[in-house]
Chains A and B, each alone.
Chain A
Amino acid sequence: GAVVSQHPSRVICKSGTSVKIECRSLDFQATTMFWYRQFPKQSLMLMATSNEGSKATYEQGVEKDKFLINHASLTLSTLTVTSAHPEDSSFYICSARTGQGAREQYFGPGTRLTVT
């Protein structure tokens, strides 16, 4: 149980275009999902907390107009990188809690974004 999927696993896009990454909880309902960014050989950096049916809460320094997050259902959250630039190239990972009050976070397999 507690499986989280992401799509796509890797994507290459041109500078200036937008790309959408999907995060799904496959066998549970996730009221809260998280989006992280990870640079090579570094730790995970929390970008935002996504709650179903409400606006995402962004961490300090993360541009909310550039990284659009939508959590429209209890099993799906999306991250859209708008007007992508090469510096947005990174490994993006989502995670989900299995329910209200649950402490465990289960991570998706990640999406490798390359902006050319």
Chain B
Amino acid sequence: GENVEQHPSTLSVQEGDSAVIKCTYSDSASNYFPWYKQELGKGPQLIIDIRSNVGEKKDQRIAVTLNKTAKHFSLHITETQPEDSAVYFCAATPFGNEKLTFGTGTRLTIIP
């Protein structure tokens, strides 16, 4: 089955700087890669996703890049703000498989 590793487990960034979270996956058949943001005591919120037919996707301050050859994908947050503080999870799933395999999460802290 799929295995997703996520790094770092914790990340502190000065407000206004950029944050990068990286994930690697094991199943070369995986072709859908979402990122979720989870605030304390709440459910995960889908913030961006990417499919294997593209290498990069951007939505305002958030971007995701995918390297299929190396089997890794990354979340980039620019101009970080205090409200970006949360736990971020990456996930992966192959086509035809409904289940998401999640990474272990990254606790991002934005320092004012």
Interface residues of A (CB under 8 A from B): 4, 6, 32, 34, 42-44, 46, 49, 93, 95, 97, 103-110, 112
Interface residues of B (CB under 8 A from A): 32, 34, 36, 41-46, 49, 51, 89, 93, 98-100, 102-105
With A49-B99, A103-B49 in contact, do A110 and B104 touch (Cβ < 8 Å)? no
Of A32, A43, A93, which one neighbours B43 at CB under 8 angstroms?
A93
List of B residues within 8 angstroms of A42 by Cβ: 104-105
Docked pose: A42 CA to B41 CA in angstroms: 13
B93–A43 CB distance below 8 A: no
B92 → chain A, closest Cβ, in Å?
11
A107–B44 CB distance below 8 A: yes
Docked pose: A68 CA to B102 CA in angstroms: 24
List of B residues within 8 angstroms of A112 by Cβ: 41
Please indicate which of the listed interface residues A34, A44, A93 has the most CB atoms of chain B within 10 Å of its own CB.
A44
A107–B36 CB distance below 8 A: yes
A108–B43 CB distance below 8 A: yes
B98–A110 CB distance below 8 A: no
Docked pose: A46 CA to B89 CA in angstroms: 14
Docked pose: A100 CA to B7 CA in angstroms: 32
Of B32, B42, B51, which one neighbours A109 at CB under 8 angstroms?
B42
Q: From B42, which residue of chain A is reached at the shortest CB distance?
A: A109
With A43-B103, A44-B102, A97-B98 in contact, do A107 and B43 touch (Cβ < 8 Å)? yes
B43–A109 CB distance below 8 A: yes
With A43-B89, A97-B98 in contact, do A104 and B41 touch (Cβ < 8 Å)? no
Q: List 18 A-B contacts (CB under 8 A).
A: A4-B43, A34-B98, A43-B102, A43-B105, A44-B44, A44-B102, A49-B99, A93-B43, A95-B44, A104-B34, A104-B46, A105-B34, A105-B46, A106-B46, A107-B44, A107-B45, A109-B42, A112-B41
